[in-house]
Structure 1
Amino acid sequence: MHTALLSSNPSTLYRLGVWYGVYRLIISFSLIIIFFLTFQQFKSDYQHLGVYLFTLLAYSFLGTLQLLALKLFPIALPRQLLLISLIDVGCFSSLTFAMGGPTLHIGLLFVITIFVTNLLLSRSQAFSITLLSVIAVLYLQLFGSWFMTSDLSKIGNSTLLAFLFFVVYLTGQFAVQRFRLLENISISQSLELLQLQNINRYILEQIDMGYLAIDEKMQVVLSNPAAYTLLGIPALMVFRSAPLQEIQPDLYQYLQLNSAKQGERFIFETMQSRYSSIHIRVQKLELPQQTLTLFVMQDAQKINQQVQQLKLAALGQLSASIAHEIRNPLASIVQANNLLIDADSEQHSMLINMIQKQAQRIDHIIQSTLNMAHNQATLPIDIQLKQFLPQLVLEDLYEVHHKIMIEVRDAVLISFDEAQLRQVLINLIRNALRHTAPEKPQIYVYAYQQDGYAFIDVVDFGEGITADKVHNLFHPFFTTQIDGTGLGLYLSRSFCEANQAKLSYVKLQDGTCFRIECPAIQIQ
């Protein structure tokens, strides 16, 4: 059984019922006044004058009693509302009979009653009221015609009005369904909002950072337990809304002397707290009705400890990265030095030149790494890969150049810091040579251009990288080699990002590919 639209909210149903009772009183007294003012002029329009006047008086009396009953005895509310609707239909039916047929103003009263019953009563009760109204305007008209007190020509108007009653009923039911849907949506959104508020409150209670928001009158409107602890506010003084002057007078005094600006950071000290110093960041919150000032607080000593730990970690990482990057050119120097023993004069000169270049490269690596640590900008230049890649292999990877196959499909021109690109490619190529399968010792370096981007693929034919290790590939100190430092790929990606490029791992069916992707320069 479908209930009334507002039955789930008795207070709303009661208020609407009272307003409808007031409306009925106004209508009844208005009809009485109109009757006495127009009685002489329209006396001939009344078929049953006494019935009409008696019905108006009874309707006014019953309307007054029912309104008082609603106000004084708001019990069995649905039954009272059903009784009100039945009395309305009965009185309007009596007025219709007294007038000899339906009139415009009585028909309007019927229509309003039918629509209101859709809001106040269940669907079956509203349908019953509609049927009673139809009977009133049709069968009473026929009943009146039997006694020659009604004009059969008015039956057509009665039929049209009865049809209108059904239209109003259906319209009212449609409106009720729409209202009910909107009510359910509103309730659902309210529940979601309440759940979100509870989640936010729980998060604020669990985090270590303190949050304290005050309004323009220095009233605390939002805070969390971490803020109470940092500011030394006793639990007994914690209120949802309290003057800042009462719960933390030192902070109040500080804000009186210093204006809190957006984004400002300062160190706050108070004897009220057991923390020696508190780091506070100011955030202005612009709300529709007001402007709040949010203080984000942390223990300054804890922040200093974290900074020192980060410095030590960065120092260790920098030292390890320098050692890792020096290892590549140092290996070339050792190899060249070993070859010097049996070299002829021409090879001797070439090997000496190689040792000098690798020594210069070691110095440059150290300087570049220090520059990166100091956030110094890269120095990109235009690099033609068709010439650069073969030159890189001969100068920096001569001892393994026969194992490196280079294929440059297009005249690819990129903008990159040359020294950093060398380090990236040497890392990737040496990794590929180390991991390729023994039966396929050669690796491939492909360079090509596609959709405005340049790609450099370093491909080997090893077993590849297991799925559980892929997400850690570019993390610092992650390595699959016992003697590795785990910084090669990390530094390579860092160098690529510094040059607006991207280094990624591509899983192949028969091998592994590390791909450098960066914007290509259009060759004029």
Structure 2
Amino acid sequence: MASDPNSQFAPSWYSTLEAGNSLQDQSHHVRAYVRLWKAFMRARVLIALVLLALQVFLLSNGAGGAAKWLVGVCTLHLAATIAVLVWTKRIEPGRAFRVQWLLTIAVDLVVFGMLDHFQQAGINYTPLFALPVLLAAILGSMTLALATAAVTTLYLLGEALIGAPLLSDVSTARLLQSGLSGTGFFVVAFLANQLAQRLAREEALVQKSQAAARSQAEVNELIIESLSEGVLVVDRHGVVRNANPAAQGMLMGDHYPHAAKLLLSARSEWESLSFLVDRTFQVGQGLEAEVQLAPDEYTTLRLFARTRLTNAQTGRPNDLCVLFLEDLREVEARVRTEKLASMGRMSAAVAHEIRNPLSAITQANALLDEEVTEPGQKRLTRMIEQNATRLSRIVDDILNVARAQPSQDEGLPALPLDQTLRQITHEWTRQNQAKGVLGVHPHAPGVHISFDPEHLRRLLINLLDNALRHASGQASSIRVISQPAGPDRVRISVWSDSAPLEPSVLKHLFEPFFSSESRSSGLGLYICRELCERYGAQIAYQRSRLDQREGNEFYVLAPTMQGGPRAPVQQSLTYPPGDSVPPPTRPGTSTNGPPSLSTL
């Protein structure tokens, strides 16, 4: 039975998914029809069994001669109903005049008619005719239902004419009773058929709406799971009801328990999220705040959190809070990309224009330096040379930032980390005369990373130069440490006993052209981050403690080579005395208080 063409369901953008579910919906309809058909067939078996028991009872109590063969008729009727239930193929809906339909209904009409005609002990079998009428009306068409009611009515009228003298009081009463019964069967057939058709249309509409709901749920689930923004559903008690993969990674990384519910107040690092959710339920409206999460001991995330209440528009009690978490690193990356896009071409053009006269100045200064002999003039030429060199370095940095960088080369060889660190730090120590100031502690033997050697050298030299400018200069005031960070990452850190960074500097730490020194281009840390991102690594800063001294630590989390030797997973590291030190740890006191809230 087709659905109503004037259905209330308008075409939607996911109508193709609904079309794909049409066969499934039709199979649901067929299964419902089969269940109804089986119910009627079982009812026929039950009635046939009751009639057989009744005839056997009448025969055992000395009924007339007709009782014996009526027992045989009831026995055959019972066998026929069982055979139809067990072996007969189900009739497809809408097929009204198949032979099986006629045999099923005809057998019941004949058997009930014989029992009614040869009735014993004054038993009235007329109500039994309602079964074939309902069977034809509900499972068949309107024509079959009215035909069955007509046959039943004709039989009742004929039985009334035969059973009593014509035009007698008994005949009139029986004819009137048969007519009323026939009218009732017609009404039952019509109403049952209309009700069955109405239920079939409603079932089609329900199935269509279910298909649309399933399609919409699948689309929503696909969108939420593929979002880079974390989505958490939290109730009033702080229990996380659901979380998309991005939110799971922000909370606990790869250790998120998918089969269990989490309580935000159960862990201290989630305290800011728990406070934000509780405050949202208290004020009854969405809030936003910046929070910090540490999914593992090596990673700290700065997130922008927004909350929304599920029933904020309806005025009903709010039972759930949806928490959106956005990684500020991605936001800063987008802002950084937009900023660089706007000034990239201009910077490259200006740098090229500066390079030509700068070369001329350098050459002229070199020629002038050969001519002059007075100490004062020599100092001036050296000043010109130093500043020209500084300008040349700034121009090179600007061009490196503005120049389009190639993607990571998959053909890079496996770079042995510890051996490369020793070579780079030895060269840097010799050039900067920092012997005794720098301590190198490689603890990742056998680890290989996919990194261009020249880029890794530039990354470490930038970090070491930055550390040398701010370190105290004492023995081992600068440390370079490598250690495994899980099964597929390695941690490279450059630590120095420098003073804490100011909040204004910390906020713009990795931005281009920002520096706390007047003679710096402000591109060193920015280039370091660009190099790390090119090879799938991450660079970050934290205040940490080493050998009972606090200092600044810049650390890089780099993926290890898939095809090369893997870093061993170590729960704790032991180091030989005098040569190695444990990795830096964060200070024991935390400066992070409750997040600042602002109403949306």
User: Which TM-score band applies after superposition, normalised by the shorter structure?
Assistant: 0.3 to 0.5
Q: Give the helix-richer structure, 1 or 2.
A: 1
TM-score normalised by structure 1 residue count: 0.43
User: Which structure is richer in relative contact order (CA contacts within 8 A, separation 6 or more)?
Assistant: 2
